[in-house]
Amino acid sequence: MRKYKQVQRKEIVYSLDEWKLIEDRAASVLMKTGTFIKRMSLDGHITYFNMSEVGEVMKALRIIGANINQIAKKANEINSIYAKDIEKLRKENEEICHTLNQFLSALPSIAA
């Protein structure tokens, strides 16, 4: 037997100007209008982070990932791993964490 989620439906009427304002605000945070209205009514705010500059961080993550994969492959081949490889991974991990922290702290947020 199929179970249905219980819901409560309400109809809200907006003027055309109000609806246009809601659509504009939803578009500014890249959300569908219905989702925007639901989140605003439940949470009272929406925080949107502009992730357009995430390319440099992703590039660094790919480099770290490639290095980790190379070390893991080598460790599997020889059933061992060297301390210098672990130290290299630790340093690279610290660098990427530092870069991510700087990036995230500088992100502008848009409160809707």
Per-residue pLDDT tens digits for 40-94: 999 888 877 766 667 767 777 777 777 777 777 777 777 777 778 778 877 877 8
Calculate what percentage of the chain has a pLDDT beyond 90. 24
For 44, which DSSP code? Answer: S
- Exposure letters 18-44 (e unless 16+ CB within 10 A, then b): eeeebeebbeebebeeeebbebbeeee
- The reported pTM is 0.48
pLDDT of 1 > 80? The answer is no
